[in-house]
Amino acid sequence: MIAVNAATPLRVEAAHDPALQPALRECVARAVRRYLSDVDSEPSEGLHALVVAEVELPLLREVMSWYSGNQSRAAAALGINRATLRKKLHQYGLS
């Protein structure tokens, strides 16, 4: 069994490992449940955008760090165009 926690770096190749995908899903599910509990089950509109932004920022930061700032390799690992990656990095102030 593979254990993943916040301190464990996740290799991009491992993202396709079926054993790790449920761990990531469960982490997101727990965070959403906690958020809904904290706002007393009445979140403001835009919950999807909030969750995407909260996940995307650390995702971009970690992937860019993993590839030592190489945008071409990071974009390939993320499965997005390099121009899209640059736009997102700028959006989050990571450029």
Q: What confidence tens digit (pLDDT) does each residue in 39-53 have?
A: 886 767 888 999 999
Query: Per the structure block, which two tokens stand in for 70?
Result: 């190489």
Position 56 pLDDT exceeds 50: yes
pLDDT band at 85 (very low <50, low <70, confident <90, very high): very high
Q: Give the residue among 17, 3, 4, 10 at the shortest CA–CA distance from 62.
A: 10
Residue 11 scores a pLDDT above 80: no
User: DSSP alpha helices (H): ranges in the chain?
Assistant: 21-38, 47-66, 71-78, 82-91
Residue 93 and residue 28 in contact, taking contact as beta carbons nearer than 8 Å: no
